[in-house]
Amino acid sequence: MTDHNTMKIIVIGKSGQLAWELSQLSTPEQEVICLGRDDVDLQDDSALVSCFKQYNADGVINASAYTAVDNAEGDVESAFALNATAVGNLAQACKALSLPFVHISTDFVFHGDKGSPYLPGDEINPLGVYGASKAQGEQLIANIYPEHSVIIRTSWVYSTHGNNFVKTMLNLMASKPELGVISDQIGTPTYAKGLAQACIASLHSHVVGVHHYTDTGVASWYDFAVAIQNIGLELGLLDKKIPIKPITTAQYPTPAQRPHYSVLDKASLVKALPELSLMHWQEQLTHMMTALKNEREA
């Protein structure tokens, strides 16, 4: 750590929902600086070193990723450039300056055939290009800078900011007579606000290795959609109830295969960060949708 009063945390990623939630955690004692692709070239590790020096960085959080899961199937090069090559460059730059590094990964590194919560050390076996690119990013960190890096895998992230399932569902529920939502993919929704707090806590506590963070509980996309409608009606974000029908993955084919089951075991991160208070996904969803209502009414 450098010898100045304000801790300076560089967040790679500016437009995403996690970066936005991290920016909300900026205080006079802890400055969060979000940098986008226009600010620094992630394909140039020497430019990254210069950038981190210029900002007098104390730590780096990588919240940028190629997350268009279906598009990745036809755009392999872009997915690997951002999810693997750039991650290796970030690890290299952090290593050069001995900076703690937090990297966000995904439940999509797993195949989805386990049937009980995935542990951080479980075998990874991604189904598609997105998962494979994220898995390679993890491997590069493990090869380059394991001593001061933490990889946090998460799933089904949403926020008041940016594009996500919650906001898409609210729009569809307001405009469609009925909806079909997939009921045979099981995971856990995660409010990006809590994930942001876990990232900052991991940086402060110098957590290393691979860990998992999501909210608690288990849901299908169908369960998630039903909860969104119920809370939306309760809060006045929706004014009418529409039928929501459970459908199977087979009934809704997509270019990328997705894991059928990707619940993540969070015990190792809870042990490393005892101050972390995990909440049930439905409680977090209520918090997020209340914040969304307040924003819309402001």
- Residue 98 falls in which region: left (phi positive, over 0), alpha (psi -120 to 50) or beta: left
- Residue 130 appears among annotated catalytic residues: yes
| Angstrom distance (rounded) from CA 81 to CA 65 | 10
Nearest to 17 by CA among 83, 70, 65, 50: 65
Strand order of the sheet with strand 209-212? 30-35, 7-12, 59-62, 101-106, 149-154, 209-212
Which helix (H) or strand (E) segment holds residue 92: the answer is: helix 86-96
Q: How many angstroms separate the CA atoms of 73 and 168, rounded? A: 22
What DSSP designation does 6 have? S
* Catalytic entry in 66, 118, 130, 191: 130
CA–CA separation, 137 and 103 (whole Å):
9
Q: Structure tokens of 103?
A: 């990297």
**Cβ neighbours of residue 239 closer than 8 Å, sequence gap 6 or more:** 174, 233
Residues acting as catalytic residues = 130
